[in-house]
Amino acid sequence: MSVLRSLENLNFDNSFARLPERFYQITKPQPLKGAHLISFNAEVAALLDLDPCTVTPEVLAQYFGGQAPLPGSEPLAMKYTGHQFGVYNPDLGDGRGLLLGEVLNQAGERWDLHLKGAGKTAFSRFGDGRAVLRSSIREYLAGEAMQGLGIPTTRALCLIGSDDYTMREGMEPCAMLLRVSRCHIRFGHFEYFYYHRMHDELRQLADYCIERYFPHLAGDENPYRSMYRQVLHSTADLVARWQAYGFVHGVLNTDNMSLLSETFDYGPYSFMDGYQTDYVSNQNDHQKRYAFKAQPGVVLWNLACLGQALLPLVDRADLEAQLECFGGLYEAAELAHYRARLGLFQAHDEDAALVSALKLLMAEQRVDMTRFFRALCRLNGSDAALEAVLAVWPEPAKVTDWLLQYQARLGREKIDAAQRQVRMLAVNPKYILRNYMAEEAIRAAHQGDFEPVNDLMTLLRDPFAEQPGFERFAGQPPGWAESICLTCSS
């Protein structure tokens, strides 16, 4: 029988805080003025064995607006380094967030609680340690959007607003977000100890990660090599999922890469409205280092940085052999996700060419891939279904040959059309978190109206359902959406 707990009685077991202090700096959150609850995520509360009936907006604002310490927590700022836009930066670390601790639930799962926007730390450099409401809303929504799509991600328990302001794109209201994740260890944690030649601490960090995240590898001949292999495999699948759903991270620095291959540290991300291989979601990325088409290569580069940091523990030849596997792993994973979206449940040799041709067509016409795949689910031989598919394409005549090849390929499947439709509708969302949707919610929140944020949370948790009342979000984005500008402050 499960037993739910109050916030004051969560089952904390703070293993990271038991590591030596050179891994972190003990720091208390700095309270926000007029802290108030904007949104609470009951689904995330369930992960923590937290009884939502025992929490109130006032108590949430008190603990996660920095006014009072959460019982059982041991706040600390984690130290790491990393490569930012390809350049190593030794001065990184939790500059505006604190790891409050780790909750161990009844299922034996360990969940990190990380308070983002908690104020200055030793690693803030020239920053004020604050997060603004705009970026906090975007991260809050992104976690549920990715979770709804089945893409590994961090999430958040609650979002707290305030009466404090700070300078970003003008004066903006401050907020705090309680991020919840299985893991806050970044590639940059390993880089910190490697580049500072602290090899004993590097081994200690690796041992900690194996014990906590990869205990099944502990008996391997070289568990560090096995850990790297598993990270590489899961990261290849993660970026394949991004590519299959048109997600652009925006800031794929090594300090934004999770050891457990969760989508991590949301900044200027985008789900593309129109499929563009060179799409850049971050307007600060003038060299297009993190463009959509570049993401698999950048992730491979980041994995090479992690491998470099593990050289004191793993032979170079073993690491290089693993890196050489990445391309094949990524391509196989991306093809598998496209097959599922296309309703192809058997593998045939021509599938890769069919998918490649589709991607070229989508890029040429900048097609809305979300609306296209959703319409494709109902392709059943009727004229109306075909017209709905063609209506998504600016130049439908150019896609008819591909559709004929696709229909011929469907003829080789062994399941009937009705079964295929059900399975396709379960992986092709009707709704996706578009930039204009987040922007509308942000504008409303700046006026004190938090209902749009909470409505979007409801919508994004089940993006495959019809969701009556939200139909406008399934249509073509408004024209003004193209003018939204996202930067690193987003």
Task: List pLDDT tens digits, range 149-170.
Answer: 999 999 999 999 999 999 998 9
Question: Is the pTM of the predicted complex or chain greater than 0.95?
Answer: yes
Integer angstrom CA distances of residue 100 from 27, 70, 75, 183: 10, 8, 4, 13
pLDDT at 490: 73
User: How buried is 390 (Cβ within 10 angstroms: 0-12 exposed, 13-18 middle, 19+ buried)?
Assistant: middle
pLDDT score recorded for residue 381: 86
pLDDT at 231: 98
Dihedral sign for Cα atoms in the order 79, 85, 88, 91: negative
Distance, in Å, from the CA atom of 78 to the CA atom of 71, rounded to the nearest integer, reads 20
Q: What is the pLDDT of residue 258?
A: 98
Which of 16, 50, 303, 33 shows the shortest CA–CA distance to 188? 303
CA 357 to chain centre: 28
Q: Which pLDDT value is given to residue 2? A: 78
CA distances to 9, 11, 72, 117, 182 from 56, in Å: 15, 19, 19, 21, 25
Residues of the chain with pLDDT under 50: none
The Cα 28–Cα 34 span in angstroms is 18
The backbone torsions φ and ψ at residue 150, rounded to the nearest 5 degrees and listed phi first, read: 85, 20
CA 140 – CA 11 distance, rounded (Å): 24
Residue 7 confidence (pLDDT): 97
- Residue closest to 12 by CA, chosen among 93, 80, 113, 92: 113
Rounded CA-CA distance 408/326 in Å is 32
Residue ranges per structural domain of the chain: 7-184, 188-335, 343-425
Residue 314 confidence (pLDDT): 98
Catalogue the active-site residues. 255
Could you tell me which of 158, 96, 98, 92 has the C-alpha nearest to residue 132? 96
